[in-house]
Amino acid sequence: MRNKVSKAIFPVAGMGTRFLPATKAVPKEIMTLVDRPLVQYAIDEAREAGIKEFIFVTARGKNALEDYFDNAPELETKLRKDGKTELLETLKSTNMESGAIAYIRQHKAMGLGHAVWCARRLVGNEPFAVMLPDDVIAGDRSCLAQMVEAYEESGGSMVATMEVSPEQTKSYGVLDIDESDPTGDDRLMRAKGMVEKPNPGEAPSNLAVIGRYILTPNVMQNLNKIGRGAGNEIQLTDAIAAEIGQDRPVYGYKFDGKRYDCGSKAGYLEATVAFALANPELGDGFRDYLRQVVAND
């Protein structure tokens, strides 16, 4: 019987330089889409996938994240007194059971791989998920839940993947798919390699790795061994690629859903528009407003 995936690491220790000056004072993960911070979307997705333990790898200046998941007794008392039960209900999704959430400091931003490695003692000897909250995935079903279900069948390590245009491969880790080893599931593909940020002519496929992973404890051991890679950072991609070198299965999972790169300004704006249009209270009015803006442009 395979171990259940019950722990997720949220590496949020990056500096968010693409959103300066805002990120000088506000962690990127606290920026909102309509009314909820990016991190709340990730937590909801994780909960739907059955995650019970939430491990945040944070850094200096990220205290707002810890406050966000804390109880807010004065606010709750006021809302209760004013009979604002709907808002009270909304607040509930931000409360965490004591002991279910942990914060670890990454003392120096040495890369995503290093951030994940910082959580090694909390993960122990179990498979775990890694979620990057700045990748927001909209869809009928939680992307991580889809991956957990596929993982229960396949085992190994798994990365979420999506097709990108040839010009975009240089911004992602890209999968090299082993066509000779079909999995019998159209969404699941065995990888025989991974290349970090290849140029268009050199990419082995158009399948980019995005910010959802299910990893085995062995990946932590690889992170122990590998040195700095691209950008002089310790790369998670390199530690996963080492799995393939050790003849351990690594899969790409083509999830069902639409991913927004909220770590970039353009992606964040696209997500804001999409989530506003999908919002039952705002959608119709906002659609009319956008039509007017475009007509007058």
Contact residue for ligand UTP among 18, 187, 248, 258 (CB under 6 A):
18
Q: Is the dihedral of CA 268, 274, 280, 284 positive or negative?
A: positive
Considering CB under 6 A, how many residues would be counted as binding ligand UTP? Answer: 20
Q: 76 or 196: whose CB is closer to ligand UTP?
A: 196
Question: What x/- string results for residues 255 through 294 when contact with ligand UTP is judged by CB under 6 A?
Answer: --------x-------------------------------
Please identify, using beta-carbon distances, which residue of 115 and 148 lies nearer to ligand UTP. 115
The CA-CA-CA angle for residues 195, 56, 3, to 5°, reads 70
CB of 74 to ligand UTP, least distance (A): 30
Smallest separation (angstroms) from ligand UTP to the CB of 10: 8
Residue among 17, 125, 180, 246 that touches ligand UTP (CB under 6 A): 17
Which tokens belong to 87?
A: 């808002």
* Contact between 41 and 134 (Cβ < 8 Å): no
Tokens for 103? 């914060």
Q: Report how far Cα 246 is from the mean position of its chain's Cα atoms.
A: 26
User: Per CB under 6 A, which of residues 55..114 are in contact with ligand UTP?
Assistant: 57, 106, 109-112, 114
Contact stretch for ligand UTP (CB under 6 A) within 9-17, 85-93, 183-191, 282-290: 9-17
Q: What 3-state class would DSSP assign to 249?
A: coil
Segment 128 to 157, residues that bind ligand UTP, using CB under 6 A: 132, 134
Q: DSSP per residue over 259-285, as a string?
A: EEETTSHHHHHHHHHHHHHH-TTTHHH
Give least dist CB 66 to ligand UTP, A.
Answer: 15
Given the rule CB under 6 A, which of 6-14, 80-88, 166-174, 200-208 is the region that contacts ligand UTP?
6-14
For ligand UTP, the closer of residues 37 and 177 by Cβ is: 37
Give me the count of residues in the chain: 297
Q: CA 129 to CA 106: how far, in whole Å?
A: 18
Task: List the one residue out of 38, 194, 53 whose CA is nearest residue 113.
Answer: 194
Question: Per CB under 6 A, does 160 bind ligand UTP?
Answer: no
> Please, which residue, 91 or 109, has the CB nearer to ligand UTP?
109
Q: Nearest to residue 11, comparing CAs of 54, 48, 67, 52? A: 54
Reduced to 3 states (helix: H, G, I; strand: E, B; else coil), residue 166 is helix
Residue 39 engages ligand UTP in binding (rule: CB under 6 A): no
Q: Quote the Cα angle for 273-275-267, to 5°.
A: 55
By CB under 6 A, name the one of 7, 8, 9, 11 that touches ligand UTP: 11
Binding site for ligand UTP (CB under 6 A): 11-18, 28, 57, 106, 109-112, 114-115, 132, 134, 263
